[in-house]
Amino acid sequence: MSNDTSPGTSSVDSKSSDPSYGVPGHSHSDKDLLKLSLGAIGIVFGDIGTSPLYALKECFKGHHQLPVDDFHIYGLVSLIFWTMGLVVTVKYVMFIMKADNKGEGGSMSLLSLIIRGANPKLSRWLIVLGVFATALFYGDSMITPAMSVLSAVEGLTVIEPSFDSWVPPVSVVILIGLFCIQARGTESVGRLFGPIMLVYFATLAILGVFNIITRSPAILLALNPYYAIHFFVSDPLQGFWALGSVVLSVTGAEALYADMGHFGRQPISLGWYWVVFPALTLNYLGQCALLSADHEAIANPFYFLAPDFLRVPLIILATFAAVIASQAVITGAFSVTQQAIQLGYIPRLRVNHTSASTVGQIYIPSVNWVLMFMVMVLIAMFKNSTNLANAYGIAVTGTMFITSCMMGVLVHRVWHWKAWQSIPLVSFFLLIDGAFFLSNVTKIPEGGWFPLLVGFVVFTMLMTWSRGRHLMAERMRQVAMPIQLFIRSAAASAVRIPGTAIFLTPEDDGVPHALLHNLKHNKILHERVILLTVKIEDVPYVDPHYRASMSSLEDGFYRVIVRYGFMEEPDVPLALNKIEQSGPMLRMDDTSFFISRQTLIPSTHTSMAIWREKLFAWMLRNSESATEFFKLPSNRVVELGSQIELVGSNKK
């Protein structure tokens, strides 16, 4: 897979057994393990940690309202507990997080892992699923900041109901400030995330225990799955509707898998088992104990857990937690975008690194401002968390369902489980995720359409870019001249001048268009000509020892291939420095980089619809310069334009 159609980038099928593909391992001492677990509590669990702010309230006051009585209270808290246990603990922590792609997780990593060696037809369907899951994530990354911050700020209405009109503007100010500081990075602020969230989870647990003891200790009986089952058996339709709100208790579960590369499986598991899961369980039980004793507390059961004098500090702490949850999903959107760029589903975008020491600290301006604009639109449209909850669940459940589908391929084709082992397990999770998704489908008219619309728009753009890239590469191969023929016919007769010329080309055979244009217009060839291809592998990292390889052709021509993983940042000059001793001497003051900038000519012969072709052309025009993307010295770059017509097969 390649990052785009630009000169110098191509793809290759990696072999996991090849020593050239590696990743830093996650072997930790006990001290490091505790430190990483604290970091995971601050980053990974922000989204799911803020779910008590709204999940239980929405079960009773949401799209399908339920009576506030002991039957429904016990049934719902039992359902929430077992949903967290089955979906987060069993599915993600025990199974999905074992599917690491050289240490990395997330939809794109899982996709690149399971399509290796798969037949082309199956691969196409898997790519569609994986890309759509990624597209839904962008919808989720717009809703999460709005939902979390609105829910936290709504605590003001518990203190004074007349503050209701202040909730949206206060939320907007907080979120605008959050998006505006993204360019500065989160390395220093991130050190505070773990301790703050640890205090937050401790507060959840303490408030829960206090209300269980003082309000209704009998609520502990609801941990028995009998109450969840009895709820469904007694009223199957109401139970089905309730799933649409119950799933809000596990929003952010996908983050455990997506952030595995930053912390490792063990620290995340430790944080979930010993801190987050117990704290969430106690808090939900405490809210239900409160409701069992005081049905009026349903107006905002989370904030009514605290005595009057502690509600203002609780609002401040919850707002900090909501900001941290928002920060995590925003930076997650940056990471997913970077992966998608490298894997060839998004055009090159400007990626700024905000830390000299931490690899994952990046900032993508275009993504940041689009997210901010859409979050503001959401707050203006929905105004409060109850309305926004209707839009929240469908993106989450859609992603979960797709992950279960991909999990089925994983256990069968990658882990090689027997059918009697894999089919019951995968069917069980598909049944759970399918039920959650179908329950949320009923919310489409009331707001569920928003993440689906965002998902389909992003999916269309990602697939259009990938398809256009493929057609453009196919067309360039068709018109390419074999390199040996070029050397024999042109190299001997052309005027050779001192210095080195590096031509970036997406293919590791054939003659680059920039080389042909340079010879045609300037009538010269440099003394040393290097044909350079950057290949993005379907693994997160490539061993630096195998970063670059060079082969000598003849008459001063060389072929150089530089490899990167999809989590790495290409730095072509740095890679070239490592091959100087084994090849031609490269001095930057004596080297010129030649790149080709393609202009798309509309064609009626391509297999893409004309509107997709125009969309692809727009994306191509607005992609980031190859000079910036590959860190080429700008004063040594020569850019040559060329026109190309998309002509491809009828295969979609």
Average pLDDT, integer, range 143-150: 92
Tokens of 2: 């390649």
∠ CA(258), CA(95), CA(536), 5° rounding? 40
Range ranked top by mean pLDDT from 176-185, 430-439, 477-486, 611-620: 430-439
141 in Cβ contact with 371 (< 8 Å): yes
Residue 3 has a pLDDT of 43
**Burial letters 609-619, b for 16+ CB under 10 A, else e:** eeebbebbbeb
pLDDT at 302 over 70: yes
What residues contact 105, with CB distance under 8 A and at least 6 apart?
Answer: 96, 97, 99, 257, 258, 259, 260, 261
DSSP string covering 578-647, please? Answer: TTTTTSS---GGGEEEEEEEEEEEP-SSSSS-HHHHHHHHHHHHTSPPHHHHTT--GGGEEEEEEEEE--
Helix segments in 84-119, DSSP class H:
107-114
Q: How far apart are CA 51 and CA 251, in angstroms?
A: 7
- Predicted TM-score (pTM) of this structure: 0.83
Sign of CA dihedral 611, 614, 620, 621: negative
Residue 15 has a pLDDT of 40
Q: How far apart are CA 399 and CA 252, in angstroms?
A: 11
pLDDT at 24 over 80: no
Residue 205 has a pLDDT of 97
pLDDT at 392 over 50: yes
Residue 36 has a pLDDT of 81
Residue 51 burial (10 A CB sphere; 0-12, 13-18, 19+): buried
Q: How does pLDDT run across 590-643, given as a tens digit for each residue?
A: 888 998 877 777 666 667 888 888 899 889 888 888 888 888 888 888 887 777
Distance from the Cα of residue 270 to its chain's centroid: 23
pLDDT at 364 over 50: yes
What CA–CA distances, in Å, run from 3 to 109, 245, 528, 645? 15, 39, 27, 20
Beta strands 362-363; 352-353: pairing state: antiparallel
Helices (H) and strands (E) in the chain, counts: 26, 9
pLDDT at 463 over 60: yes
Q: CA neighbours within 13 Å on the CB side: how many for 339?
A: 29
Range ranked top by mean pLDDT from 98-112, 172-186, 638-652: 172-186
What residues contact 470, with CB distance under 8 A and at least 6 apart?
Answer: 648
Residue 652 has a pLDDT of 41
Look at residues 581, 584, 458 and name the one whose alpha carbon lies nearest to residue 532.
584
**Burial letters 390-420, b for 16+ CB under 10 A, else e:** bbbbbbbbbbbbbbbbbbbbbbbbbeebeee
Q: How far apart are CA 118 and CA 13, in angstroms?
A: 11
Residue 358 has a pLDDT of 53
